[in-house]
Structure 1
Amino acid sequence: MLVVENLTRQYGARRAVDGVSLRIEPGSFVGVIGRSGAGKSTLLRMINRLQDPSGGRILFGDTDVTALRGSALRAWRGRCAMIFQQFNLVGRLDVLTNVLMGRLNHVPAHRSLLKLWSEEDRALALAALESFDMGGFAAARADQLSGGQQQRVAIARALVQEPEIILADEPVASLDPRNTRLVMDALAEANRRYGITVLCNLHSLDLARAYCDRLVGLSAGRVVFEGRAFDLTEDVARDLYGLEAGEVMDDAPGGRAPARAEPQAAVA
């Protein structure tokens, strides 16, 4: 279980995250919602330790994530994969190599630098691409893909890390409705098929309702709502977003996500 205890991030006189406490059950799909500047991205970046907390603790099982340094911290980032709005692919490299970068924590540095990937690693990367209908693009340059295709490659790269948690920071913010649905379906597939816990920052409340089994609402860095998707009423949305509520309650592309299935073993 991932446990966040009184987590705080201070920037001068401003608290981007202010005393957040959460318990995230294994295998859950949790949406983090709120206005821009509410602290959503800062929260996920602290869980991954891309930013250090000013106070509080992050616990995962018996591990105090806030105390990790060096190789132990690198190992945590392997267990806790991060997906960004900007995709963070290397455009000049082919898709397969970009996905294989997710194996860096599993292979010796000299092998990765020389691109001496094992057949097992290649098979794992191809299987991840195939699971998101991207196998046919393995040899294409990453910068030749659409935004939605690049994001699915980024999810495949996260999957080959063999993570226990995926943190997705506004993964569909710059995508059209069709690609939004494809990317959210890919995250839901990783969650359902492999039992990977997903924390996903979302702007659209209807997307959050459609795909997440639990929601956490942030305002000014604090948790002001926590509950199931059907608990997110229009009144709660107005409390969270104020005058912006109508703008973030567009219809979710493609309707509700399919029913959750029992987790299976990860790709191997």
Structure 2
Amino acid sequence: MLHVEGLSRRFGNHRAVADASFVVERGSFVGVIGPSGAGKSTLLRMINRLVDPSEGRIRFAGEDVTALSGAELRRWRRRAAMIFQQFNLVGRLDVLTNVLMGRVATVPAWRSLAGLWPEDDKVIALAALEQFDIAGLAAQRAEHLSGGQQQRVAIARALVQEPELILADEPIASLDPRNTRVVMDALLRINKHYGITVMCNLHSLDLARTYCDRLIGMAAGRIVFDGAPEHLTDAIARDIYGLDSEQIADGVHAAPRPRLPAAALGEAAAA
């Protein structure tokens, strides 16, 4: 369980996040919504500790994340995997090696630097690629992939970290509608099949309502809404975005919430 308590971050005189407090239950899929500059990215980066809070505290399963440093902080970043809008792949390396980077914390440094990955780790990486129908691209250089394929590689890399929490910072912002759905389906499958908690920054209300079971709305650095998607009315959306709610959608219209095969859901329930 993730506890965020009075979290704030200032950059000079600008307060990017102001007094954010909430609790995220294990296994939930939380969408963080709001306009550009609302503080969504800063919030997720503070949880991962890529950005240090100016005030407040982050706790996960009773551990004070804000107090971690050194090896303990590296372990936390393995438990709380980040997925970025820009994919953050090494373009000149093949897809398999990019995914194996998610195993760096589990192998001696000399092995990863020399590219001498254990066979067990290669099997794990290939299995992750298979989950997202891109195992056939394992030998290709990452820079030759489409944006949607690169983001699926980034998600596979996060998955092989064996995280307890995935923090996705605008993972579909640069993708077309088809690849948007492919990537969001991949995140939903991780959430339902493996029971991994997902927090995902999104601009589109259509997508947020379709995929998330809870929404946190931010405006000017503050949390102004926290609840189920069905409780996010058009009036609240206008308050968050300062626009007509019809203007907020990014051209990707809501589809029925994806359903996973019964077998996959059964496995998740049994896990």
Q: Same fold (TM over 0.5)?
A: yes
Alpha-carbon distance in structure 1 between the residues aligned to 2:253 and 2:184: 10
**CA shift at 1:141, angstroms?**
0.5
Q: d(CA) in 1 for partners of 2:2 and 2:181? A: 27
Q: Distance in 1 between matches of 2:101 and 2:124?
A: 12
Contact 2:203 2:250 in 1 (8 A): no
1:122-133 matched pairs, under 5 angstroms: 122-133=122-133
Residue pairs, 1:129-140, within 5 angstroms: 129-140=129-140
The offset of 1:249, in angstroms, is 2.6
Cα distance in structure 1, aligned partners of 2:253 and 2:34: 19
CA RMSD of aligned residues (A): 1.5
User: Structure 1 residue 76 and structure 2 residue 79: aligned?
Assistant: no
Determine the C-alpha separation between the residues in 1 that align with 2:100 and 2:162: 12
2:30 equivalent in structure 1: 30
1:253 to 1:112, Cα distance in 2 relative to 1, 3 A: farther
Structure 1 residue 219 corresponds to structure 2 residue 219: yes
- The residue number in structure 1 matching 2:163 is 163
CA deviations on 1:67-96 (whole Å, 9 max, x unpaired) are: 000000000000000000000000000000
Deviates more, 1:1-10 or 1:243-252: 243-252
How many residue pairs are counted as aligned between the two chains? 266
In 2, the alpha carbon distance for the partners of 1:250 and 1:64 equals 37
**Residues 152/244 of structure 1: CA separation in 2 closer, same or farther (3 Å cut):** farther
The separation in 2 between residues aligned to 1:131 and 1:17, in whole angstroms, is 36
Give the match for residue 199 of structure 1: 199
Output the CA distance in 2 between the equivalents of 1:102 and 1:264: 26
Q: Which residue is equivalent to 2:51?
A: 51
Distance 1:265-1:78 versus aligned 2 partners, 3 A rule: farther
Partner of 1:235: 235
For the residues of structure 2 that align with 1:189 and 1:264, how far apart are their CA atoms? 13
Q: Distance in 2 between matches of 1:99 and 1:244?
A: 41
Q: Give 3-state SS (helix, strand or coil) of 1:38's partner.
A: coil
Identity of aligned residues (%): 67
Partner of 2:103: 103
Tell me which amino acid in the other structure corresponds to 1:245. Answer: S
Correspondence 1:172-211 to 2 at 5 A: 172-211=172-211
Contact persistence 1:6–1:19 (CA under 8 A): yes
8 Å CA contact retained: 1:93, 1:142: yes
**Under a length normalisation based on structure 1, what TM-score does the superposition of the two structures give?**
0.96
Residues 33 and 202, structure 2, Cα contact 8 Å, conserved in 1? yes
**Residues 181 and 254 of structure 1 are in contact (CA less than 8 Å); yes or no, is this contact kept in structure 2?**
no
Secondary structure of the structure 2 residue equivalent to 1:243: coil
SS at match of 2:89: coil
Structure-2 change in CA distance of 1:155 and 1:43 (3 Å): same
The answer for the alignment partner of 2:67 in structure 1 is: 67
* Worse-matched range after superposition: 221-230 or 252-261: 252-261
Change beyond 3 A, Cα 1:216–1:247: same
8 A contact 1:95–1:141 mirrored in 2: yes
1:265: how far off? 7.8
Q: In 2, distance between residues paired with 1:201 and 1:85?
A: 10
Paired letter, 2:184: M
Q: CA deviation at 1:246?
A: 2.6
Are 2:44 and 1:39 equivalent residues in the alignment? no
CA contact (8 A) 1:185 1:257 kept: no
Supply the distance in 2 between the matched residues of 1:265 and 1:95 (Cα, whole angstroms): 31
Q: How many Å separate the matches in 1 of 2:214 and 2:84? A: 21
The answer to whether the 8 A contact 1:194-1:264 is kept is no
Structure 2 length as normaliser, TM-score? 0.95
Contact preservation (8 Å) 2:35, 2:241: yes
| Aligned counterpart, 1:87 | 87
Q: Does the 8 A contact of 2:30 with 2:212 survive in 1?
A: yes
Structure 2: segments with no counterpart, 5+ residues: none
Unaligned residue ranges in structure 1 (runs of 5+): none
Q: Is the 8 A contact 2:210 2:254 kept in 1?
A: no
Deviation at 1:243, TM superposition (A): 2.1
Taking a change above 3 Å as real, the CA distance of residues 250 and 86 of structure 1, as seen in their structure-2 partners, is: closer
